[in-house]
């Protein structure tokens, strides 16, 4: 147990019993405990394997390379369609965790083996994503904008593409594009 992680378990009021049980299960698998992204993160040789996090409706174990696990029990969940590698096992009560403890451990051990084998999730390249028409038109008309966008890191490009693609109405997509043009031209990412 890493004392700098204790605060997380103390503040998880609604899910305290559940996250404490998950902590014991994960630590029983000989992983190192650390705090990353404000959450308890469990590693082997400094490689992330799994983390514990809480949400309003559930708590979860997130497997960083969950897409590579066999998921024989069909319990891994892809958070959104844009999440490529990570997968969650979600829990809404302590009974689910206790019942699934052997399965949880099996998944953790499989995730450790995936990491030891050096397996990597094949991620989609930025150019494989569909650029919304409203943004594509701006890029086609404005060479400086196109050059600035192409100079961004692939992650920043994807963040903009996702952000511009989300609204259902063209008018809203167009407004988002307009709002962020100066930021793109300044070489900044969506959240910079």
pLDDT, mean over the chain: 93
Domains and CATH numbers, the chain: 3-116 (3.90.1150.200), 126-185 (no CATH)
Q: Is the pLDDT of residue 52 over 90?
A: yes
Nearest to 32, CA basis, from 40, 41, 21, 43: 43
Name which residue leads in pLDDT, 66 or 166.
66
Q: Is the pLDDT of residue 81 over 80?
A: no
**R_g over Cα of the chain:** 20
**Helices and strands (DSSP H and E) totals, the chain:** 7, 5
pLDDT digits (tens, 9 = 90+) for 106-129: 999 999 999 999 999 888 777 778
Global pTM reads 0.74
pLDDT digits (tens, 9 = 90+) for 12-32: 778 999 999 999 999 999 999
């Amino acid at each position: 147990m890493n004392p700098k992680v204790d605060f997380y378990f103390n503040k998880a009021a609604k899910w305290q019993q559940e996250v404490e049980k998950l902590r014991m299960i994960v630590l029983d698998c000989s992983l190192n405990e650390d705090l990353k992204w404000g959450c308890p993160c469990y590693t082997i040789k400094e490689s992330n394997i799994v983390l514990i996090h809480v949400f309003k409706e559930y708590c979860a174990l997130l497997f960083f390379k969950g897409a590579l696990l066999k998921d024989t029990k069909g319990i891994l969940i892809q958070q959104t369609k844009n999440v490529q590698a990570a997968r969650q096992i979600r829990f809404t009560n302590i009974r689910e965790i206790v019942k699934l403890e052997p399965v949880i451990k099996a998944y953790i051990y499989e995730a450790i083996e995936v990491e030891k084998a050096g397996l990597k999730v094949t991620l989609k390249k930025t150019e494989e994503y569909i650029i919304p028409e409203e943004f594509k038109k701006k890029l086609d008309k404005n060479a400086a904008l196109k050059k600035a966008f192409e100079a961004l890191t692939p992650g920043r490009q994807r963040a903009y593409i996702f952000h511009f693609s989300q609204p259902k109405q063209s008018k809203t997509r167009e407004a988002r594009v307009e709002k962020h043009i100066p930021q793109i031209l300044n070489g900044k990412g969506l959240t910079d």
